[in-house]
A and B are shown apart, each in its own frame.
Chain A
Amino acid sequence: MAAKVKKALIELTDIKKEYVTEEVVTKVLHGINLTIKEGEFLGIMGPSGSGKSTLMNIIGFLDRLTSGKYKFKGKDVSKLDDDQLAEMRNSEIGFIFQTFNLLPRTNVLDNVKLPLIYSKKKNKIELAKKAVEAVGLTKRISNLSNQLSGGEKQRVAIARALVNEPSLILADEPTGNLDSKTGQKIMELIEDLNEKGHTVILVTHERYTAEHADRIIKIKDGLIVEDYKNHVRRRAKDGELVK
């Protein structure tokens, strides 16, 4: 079987991150080197304080690196200003958070439409409806966010993450606030997205969740300590481990 040569989506070279508060300097990332290809399903694992969230924030343009080089789709994006970062977040990244982070007192459609408001796309309502359909919530499209169950909320979040057709989906403990059955469904959805070609980065401290990815890196004390192909992929659909 001829292997398709996949392009590198993300290239991180010697990424270091430190926070300065008053006179205290906290070093969080001590030199991360990482290349992520298009279409990959990457799991980032690590204990609290390991720097995995910081790494995810830098990849997702929510935070700036202190030193090092970040190339996205071949372009150097190490030194972007606030507005440029916002633009990248809007067009290239889709976030899925542990705590869902939906707009209160707002219905499903308007929640999913949110990233589109800040883009220049024309057919906003259509795109939003399509994304809602993709996560199977068309029946609930007019419901307010507080009328949804946990699983439904996370689906809305996923639809929102997809609506701008981003290059990368970043999921931070997506099943952390869900029961195992609902969590299962959500992972199914995320796997689906990856199968359709989306690049997915899953950040978690649980091995069980990370094992849905086909590549796992482990972070400890601001450095990558392990980076391996996951041959024992857990498939949510089957609930079984697959080789």
Chain B
Amino acid sequence: MEFKDAIKISINNLRANKVRSFLTMLGLVIGVMAIIIIMSVGAGAQSLIINQIKGFGTNIITIMPGSSDESGPPTAIMGITITTLKYEDSLALEKKSNVEHAVAASAFLTGQGTFSWKDSSIETNFTGTTANYLNVEEAEVERGRFFSKSEEKSMARVIVLGSVIAEDLFGNQDPIGETIKIKKHAFKVIGLMKERGVVGLENQDNKAFIPISTSQKLLLGVDHLGSIRIKIDSTENVDQSIEEIKQTLREQHDIDNPKDDDFTVRAAAQALEIVTTITDALKFFLAAVGGLALVVGGIGIMNIMLIAVNERIREIGLRKAVGARNINLVTQFLAETIVITLIAGAVGIIIGAIISGLVALVANYLDYDWDYIVSLQSILLGLGISSLIGLVFGLYPAIKTSKIEPIAALRYE
């Protein structure tokens, strides 16, 4: 018996009973669809998160005050203020003699306050930083300029605004040259930042930058730093640089025993790895759950095929009477099951792809940086698993046809 005959018989039988065929396939369609959606939406969410983390910069190392163990969150995030990180540390870390592959280091100290200009005022935050902020963060000024190294050290009362703060305070008016008051001190607006949107999970346009010394001494009355970020020349050198940074800080802070470290050094590259591992695991776990739906669908199909074998007992008897061997009948019924599961799989893939596409559409409409990913891998997986289900769950009914004797079958009412 030729293969195409088996396929022809399968399709004929499917068309003969469209409602039953549809219901038979439904379980499998839903299962495959679920897996496609999970993998696609999962990949989209994963890429969204990873893109955000990449925004932190994969060749940037962040130093925060306070120790924490390698895998946990830094203490600084917990809301406790630790004052061990100093401006001099950032200067030391920028030196190539200390950190061989350092390009530039910027220091940060943020605070909150009321910004007022003429009649308008807003409650917002200010970020004290160093002049090489633009270099380290790869940001740009749209109009005006950023503050200089000397302004950085001399407590200059100058401020560079992000587009959101500028708009909130100034509306449509050009803020450059204007004076705003923060905590009773007058600041001259010298620059407007180019829009960056959400990077590294923060809206970068909702920031205002002032010299670090101004932030520390004038506005906050402290002399510590909130964090330091160092740009390394290439991602390959990050690991080495991390060690050098730790060494340098230990020297700066007079620490002999690494257990006494009062700082935390993190690289975005590590976070990236961790997040990728976690989201991968999540994706596959969910897909496995989807796999359960497939097994249920397969059992349903096996049930239907068992009934079909029973219903078609006369047909089976007839085929054997005209010369079909057992293997011909087994092949025929197995082919029928596999055709059903393949069609169900294909339909599931198409519906799954459409739904994932809709999700991507909505996400992008809501301004999320969402990639629509339906990988060839997931399609092949969907088709492969469907065929496998057909093979596994179709085998038992198919083998049952061998037990049928033609004489008895032909007399079956």
Residues of A within 8 Å of B328, CB to CB, are: 118
User: Which among A42-50, A84-92, A230-238 touches the partner chain?
Assistant: A84-92
Contact string against B for A residues 100-143, beta-carbon threshold 8 Å, 1 for contact and 0 otherwise: 01011110000000110111000000000000000000000000
From A104, A105, A106, A115, contact of B322 by CB (8 A):
A115
Task: Report the separation of the CA atoms of residues A4 and B188 in the bound assembly, to the nearest whole angstrom.
Answer: 128
**Complex partner residue of B323 from A86, A97, A105, CB under 8 angstroms:** A86
B322 contacts across to A, CB distance below 8 A: 89-90, 95, 114-115, 118, 160
Q: How far is the CB of A97 from chain B (nearest CB, A)?
A: 7
Query: Which of B60-68, B209-217, B313-321 contacts its partner?
Result: B313-321
Q: A57 interface residue, CB < 8 Å from B?
A: yes
Q: How many residues of A contact B (CB 8 A)?
A: 25
State A115–B319 Cα separation when bound (angstroms).
8
Instruction: Decide if B406 touches A62 in the complex (CB within 8 Å).
Output: yes
Nearest CB on B from A139, distance (A): 23
CB distance from A174 to the nearest CB of B (A): 14
Which B residue sits closest to A84, measured CB to CB? B325
Distance in angstroms from B229 CB to nearest chain A CB is: 74
B321 close to A118 (CB less than 8 A): no
CB neighbours (8 Å) of B318 from chain A are 101, 103, 114
Q: How far is the CB of A77 from chain B (nearest CB, A)?
A: 15
Contacts of A115 in B (CB 8 A): 322-323
Least distance between A211 CB and chain B CB atoms (Å): 26
B326-354 CB contact bits vs A (8 Å, 1 = yes)? Answer: 11100000000000000000000000000
Q: How far is the CA of A87 from the CA of B323 in the complex (A)?
A: 6
Q: Does A76 lie at the interface of the complex (its beta carbon under 8 Å from any beta carbon of B)?
A: no
Do B325 and A118 have beta carbons less than 8 Å apart?
Answer: yes
- Taking the closest CB of chain B, its distance from the CB of A10, in whole angstroms, is 18
Q: Is the interface of B mostly helix, strand, loop or mixed?
A: helix
User: Residue of A at shortest CB range from B402?
Assistant: A82
CB contacts (< 8 Å) of A105 on chain B: these are 12, 16
| B407 pairs with A89, CB closer than 8 A | no
List the A residue with the shortest CB-CB distance to B327. A83
Q: How far is the CB of A128 from chain B (nearest CB, A)?
A: 13
Q: Which residues of B contact A62 (CB under 8 A)?
A: 321, 406-407
In the assembled complex, A227 has its CB within 8 A of some CB on chain B: no
How far in angstroms is the closest Cβ of chain A from B76?
A: 75
In the assembled complex, how far is the CB of residue A101 from the closest CB belonging to chain B, in whole angstroms? 5
- The residue in chain B whose Cβ has the minimal distance to the Cβ of A53 is B407
Bound CA–CA A54/B110 (angstroms): 100
Q: Which residue of B lies closest to A161 (CB)?
A: B322
Does B2 interact with chain A (Cβ within 8 Å)?
yes
Interchain nearest-CB distance for A17 vs B (Å): 12
B289 on the A face (CB < 8 A): no
B410 within 8 A of A: yes
Q: Which residue in B1, B16, B407 is a CB contact (below 8 Å) of A63?
A: B407
For residue B273, CB closer than 8 A to chain A, the reply is: no
Which residues of the partner chain A approach B407 to less than 8 Å between Cβ atoms?
A: 57, 62-63
Q: How far is the CA of A93 from the CA of B315 in the complex (A)?
A: 18
Residues of A near B320 (CB, < 8 A) are: 86, 89
Contact of B319 among A82, A87, A114, A164 (CB under 8 A): A114
* Residue numbers in B under 8 Å from A99 (CB-CB): 410
Chain A residue numbers with a CB within 8 Å of B315 are: 103-104
CA distance A202 to B327 in the complex (A): 31
Given the contacts A86-B324, A114-B322, A101 and B314 also touching, CB distance less than 8 Å: yes
Interface status of B119 (Cβ within 8 A of chain A): no
Once the chains are docked, how many angstroms separate the CA of A164 from the CA of B324?
13
Is B138 part of the binding interface, using a Cβ–Cβ cutoff of 8 Å?
A: no
Q: How far is the CA of A217 from the CA of B324 in the complex (A)?
A: 31
- Contact call B5/A117, Cβ cutoff below 8 A: yes
- Cα distance A17–B13 in the bound complex, in angstroms: 38
How far, in Å, is B46 (CB) from chain A's closest CB? 49
B1-34 residues with Cβ-Cβ distance < 8 A to A are 1-2, 5, 12, 16
Residues on A with C-beta less than 8 A from B324 are: 86, 90, 117-118
Considering the complex, give the chain A residue whose CB is closest to the CB of B406.
A62
B317 nearest in chain A by CB position:
A101
Q: How far is the CA of A114 from the CA of B12 in the complex (A)?
A: 15
Decide: B325 and A86 in contact? CB cutoff 8 A. yes
Residue in B1, B12, B321, B328 with the greatest tally of chain A CB atoms within 10 Å: B321
Residue pair B1, A118 in contact (C-beta under 8 Å): yes
Residues of A contacting B410 in the complex (Cβ-Cβ under 8 angstroms): 97, 99, 101
B12:A106 contact, CB within 8 angstroms: yes
Cα separation A101 to B406 with both chains bound (whole Å): 12
Bound CA–CA A209/B123 (angstroms): 109
Measured CA separation A164–B320 after assembly (Å): 15
Q: In the complex, which residues of chain A have a beta carbon less than 8 angstroms from the beta carbon of B406?
A: 62
Contacts of B5 in A (CB 8 A): 117
Beyond the given A63-B407, A83-B325, A114-B322, please list 4 additional residue pairs across the A-B interface where CB-CB is below 8 A: A90-B322, A97-B410, A101-B318, A115-B322
Closest 9 CB pairs of A and B: A90-B323, A115-B322, A118-B323, A86-B325, A89-B323, A105-B16, A83-B325, A101-B318, A118-B324
Binding site for A on B (CB under 8 A): 1-2, 5, 12, 16, 314-315, 318-328, 406-407, 410
A residues near B, CB below 8 A?
A: 57, 62-63, 82-83, 86-87, 89-91, 95, 97, 99, 101, 103-106, 114-115, 117-119, 160, 164
Residue pairs across A and B with Cβ atoms less than 8 A apart, 8 shown, are A62-B406, A83-B325, A89-B321, A89-B323, A90-B323, A95-B322, A105-B16, A117-B1
